[in-house]
Amino acid sequence: MNLGEIVPDDEPVARAVIYPTHLPAKQLSDESLLDFRGDNDPIALGEWGFAYSLSVTCLSLHASDEVHRGGLLLADNQNEARPLPMKEESAAYGHQRSYLGYYEFKTACATPSPDGKDQTVTIFWPDEPHFPAHANCCIRISADTVKRDRVNRRIRVIGLIWRALRGPTRYLYDVGQPFADVLNELPLEPMPK
Amino acid sequence: MMSATLPMGKKFFRYDQRSTPSTWSTATSKTMRSLAAATYYPVPTAASSVIVGSFSNAYSHLADLIQSFEDPAAEMHVDREAVRDARLLMGRLISANICPPKAFPSGGDAVVFVWEKAGAKDYVYYADDVLSLTHMPSNGDDRQFDIDLREAAALTTFATYIGR
């Protein structure tokens, strides 16, 4: 598969859970795991007016252990690029982001709207050498939509994906690794409910 | 017209954005009453002042969360307009003693509020006095409609639907 190719919508993809970014705390909702971000890349946009992307891993190209290795590296990269602020409450996990595992879904769950003004696709987007199975799940929306419409279309897709999530496939830290006891005990919502 | 596209049996109908606010309100109230009648959300029973007190912690956390989205360096950053709208809606929810939602950022330009009950989720986006409600029950009978909060009874009807 090459950069820019559409991943078949019946192939499972994995979304990594990074703590504390994604784990719901207090009033943060679970759907924060699915924060599609605005994407102006021509590959993401295709012929559409707007695109919103979410990083995923193609499970068909990776063994579970390799997906975990990618998640651990992702957390490390984020810690290096954007260190967490040194707050009292983050001392329990060393003021670091940590990878906890992943949820999976198939893009086919995000059916397009009947009016044809949006579609959800997963685009193969390898990030060599460390993330060879990386892809972007993209919500594409027609150019002739107003902001409210675009937000509502995103909400609908996020709701569909959330309902279709399976998992988690948990990564367990070895005893003796820093903060293993804390990280291994963090609750992850079993899906589907 | 929007009111003609409201049948409850039609999945994921969409309001015509050009419709007039008065039409939205009438249609929405009817829809919400129907959903509430299906024993989806309980009708409030306790005194409002007591409920507001029990909700204050959650609303305080929600305020902190929305503020955290404002930080341009935050991973879940959203723009200032989205933060402003989220705060405005939170103020309206508090004023109507509505049970506190959870929230998540979306796309860098919106904050979405979420209520969950009996396996169903209600997602709400708010801007320009209009609240967009996406109702997604586990059976897939999804619906999406707008509520114009400039209509006098709209917030009360919404409060009854969501619960207090």
Dihedral through CA B20, CA B22, CA B24, CA B27, nearest 10?
Answer: -140
Residues of A with CB under 8 A from a CB of B: 21, 24, 26-32, 35-38, 52, 82, 113-115, 146-152, 154-156, 158-160, 162-163, 193
User: For A136, what's the count of Cα atoms within 13 Å in the CB-facing half-sphere?
Assistant: 24
Q: Following DSSP, what letter does each residue of chain A receive, concatenated?
A: --TTPEEPTTSEEEEEEEETTTS--TTB-GGGGG--EE---HHHHTTSSEEEEEEEEEGGGS-HHHHHHHHHHHHHHHHHHSPPP--GGGGGGTT--EEEEEEEEEGGGSPPPTTSSEEEEEEE--BTTTBTTEEEEEEEE-SS--HHHHHHHHHHHHHHHHHH-EEEEE--PPTTSTTHHHHHHS----B--
Residues in chain B: 164
Residue corresponding to tokens 């696709």:
A121
Confidence of residue A45 (pLDDT cuts 50, 70, 90): very high
Stretch among A65-79, A176-190, B14-28, B92-106 having the lowest mean pLDDT: B14-28
Q: Which chain B residues are closer than 8 Å to A75 by Cβ?
A: none
Instruction: Tell me the pLDDT tens digit for each residue of B140-162.
Output: 899 998 999 998 889 998 988 88
CB under 8 Å to A55, separation ≥6 — which residues? A15, A16, A134, A135, A136, A137
Instruction: Nearest chain B residue to A158 by CA: give it.
Output: B106
User: For B105, what's the count of Cα atoms within 13 Å in the CB-facing half-sphere?
Assistant: 26
DSSP B10: S
B135 vs chain A: nearest CA distance in angstroms? Answer: 9
pLDDT at A155 over 70: yes
pLDDT at A149: 96
- B105 and A35: CB-CB below 8 Å? yes
Confidence of residue B33 (pLDDT cuts 50, 70, 90): low
pLDDT at A127: 85
CB under 8 Å to B142, separation ≥6 — which residues? A156, A159, B11, B12, B134, B135, B136
pLDDT at A123: 97
Among B65, B106, B149, most A C-beta atoms within 10 A, so best to mutate, is: B106
Report the alpha-carbon distance of residue B84 to residue A90 in Å, rounded.
28
Rounded to 5°, the CA angle B110-B115-B119 comes to 125
Is B80 buried (19+), middle (13-18) or exposed (0-12) by CB count in 10 A? Answer: exposed
Region B25-46: mean pLDDT is: 45
User: Would you state the structure tokens that stand for residue A106, as one six-digit string?
Assistant: 């198939």
Q: Which chain B residues are closer than 8 Å to A115 by Cβ?
A: 14
Among A29, A54, A161, most B C-beta atoms within 10 A, so best to mutate, is: A29
Stretch among A31-45, A68-82, B23-37, B98-112 having the lowest mean pLDDT: B23-37
- The DSSP bridge pattern shows strands A50-58 and A37-38 to be antiparallel
Confidence of residue B15 (pLDDT cuts 50, 70, 90): very low
Residues in chain A: 193
pLDDT at A131: 86
Confidence of residue B32 (pLDDT cuts 50, 70, 90): low
pLDDT at A176 over 60: yes
ipTM: 0.91
User: Would you state the structure tokens that stand for residue B117, as one six-digit string?
Assistant: 């009950």
Instruction: Tell me the pLDDT tens digit for each residue of A88-138.
Output: 776 777 778 999 999 999 999 999 999 999 999 999 999 888 888 999 999
Confidence of residue A44 (pLDDT cuts 50, 70, 90): very high
The whole-model pTM stands at 0.84
User: Would you state the structure tokens that stand for residue A174, as one six-digit string?
Assistant: 């070895």
pLDDT at B2 over 70: no
In single-letter form, the type of residue at position A116 comes to G
Report the alpha-carbon distance of residue B102 to residue A34 in Å, rounded.
15
Report the alpha-carbon distance of residue B113 to residue B91 in Å, rounded.
13
- B130 and A148: CB-CB below 8 Å? yes
First to last CA, chain A: 34
